[in-house]
Structure 1
Amino acid sequence: MDAEKGDTVLVPLMGMLLLLSVATAGAGIVIVVLLLKNPPLPLSKACAVLVLIFSSAAAAVYCYGWFSVVMGGPFPELCEDRNASGAALASMKQEYWPLRSACVYSDGPTVEYVPMSVNVLVCVLASLAVVLTGAAAFLRRRARQSPEGTAVHLA
């Protein structure tokens, strides 16, 4: 199966993942708002909901970047036949991690069209989700081991 055919098979799946991620992140934000209206809020539950929000946002940003690579990039009209130094266009390259679309010229340089900000944002959101997962597990364990059996609550 060539890459182009594989991309067309993945488009509906990535579209569903994008919609699901956006809906999940939105639902997580609504849950946080509702939980904040009814204090006291156990810190471990707040961390768990934030994990849901950050991981869903990371998936949504990645899907957005994936679509920018697969559906539109590199835009053929953006890839000049020759670069400023006169070298001919050798190929167009697409990578999915890190997300990038590039025009590769015969003298070696590439011109990328997916900004690194998409990759950085995905990594930051995913890292926050991982850290908060650890924090939620630690707080939940600490709340179970407390002598009074009380949980840590937000003031």
Structure 2
Amino acid sequence: MPTPLMGLLLLLSAAAVPACALVIFLLLKNPARSPARVCGFTALLLGFSALAVYCYGWFSVTLGGPFPELCEDRTASGARLTSPEQDFWPLRNACVYSDGSTVEHLSASINVLVYVPAGLAAVLACATAFLARRARHLPEGTS
């Protein structure tokens, strides 16, 4: 993705995360609000936080992030490090050695900081749609 678009997404998500947190706080202070709204804003909070972490990691790799320190100078067979290859985060990053072997690195924190919140956001978005549809079909005065 082009750098201006990723920068815009980073700024948007960095502004949306505290705004969603504030709205959730205000919704929870007033218990008369529907649970669908709380689920919806929680889905937005998780989605925007995953987007912010992804964009931050993308900029980190694009600007020469911390990946090269993960490569060892030599493999167990004695081959020298030729070059580290970085793809856009969180795609695989590889250490290329002189004998043609590669060692790929994919941080476990990517699963925790990007994929889990994004997946939870999708699940909560579906739950929000279900709760909103259910609330529409219930007669007034029932729960």
TM-score, length basis structure 1: 0.76
Q: Distance in 2 between matches of 1:139 and 1:77?
A: 48
The equivalent of 1:83 in structure 2 is 74
Q: Distance in 2 between matches of 1:68 and 1:100?
A: 14
Identity of aligned residues (%): 55
Question: 2:26 is aligned with what amino acid?
Answer: L
Within 5 A, what are the aligned runs for 1:117-132? 117-132=109-124
2:94 pairs, out of 89, 98, 102, with: 102
Question: How much does 1:135 deviate?
Answer: 0.4
Within 5 A, what are the aligned runs for 1:30-69? 30-69=22-61
Cα distance 1:32–1:76, how it changes in 2: closer, same or farther (>3 A)? Answer: closer
Question: 1:110 is aligned with what amino acid?
Answer: V
The equivalent of 1:70 in structure 2 is 62
1:87 aligned counterpart, secondary structure: coil
Q: Is the 8 A contact 2:92 2:104 kept in 1?
A: no
1:19 pairs, out of 8, 11, 26, with: 11
Q: Is the 8 A contact 1:62 1:119 kept in 2?
A: no
Question: How much does 1:128 deviate?
Answer: 0.5
What is the CA deviation profile of residues 51-99 of structure 1, one whole-angstrom value per residue up to 9, with x for unaligned ones? 110110110111122122211246667656x414321223332223643
Number of matched residues?
141
Confirm whether residue 142 of structure 1 aligns to residue 134 of structure 2: yes
Q: Distance in 1 between matches of 2:47 and 2:91?
A: 18
Question: 2:103 is aligned with what amino acid?
Answer: T
Q: Is the 8 A contact 1:66 1:99 kept in 2?
A: no
2:123 aligned counterpart, secondary structure: helix
Q: Where do 4+ consecutive residues of structure 1 move more than 6 Å?
A: none
Q: Distance in 2 between matches of 1:78 and 1:48?
A: 39
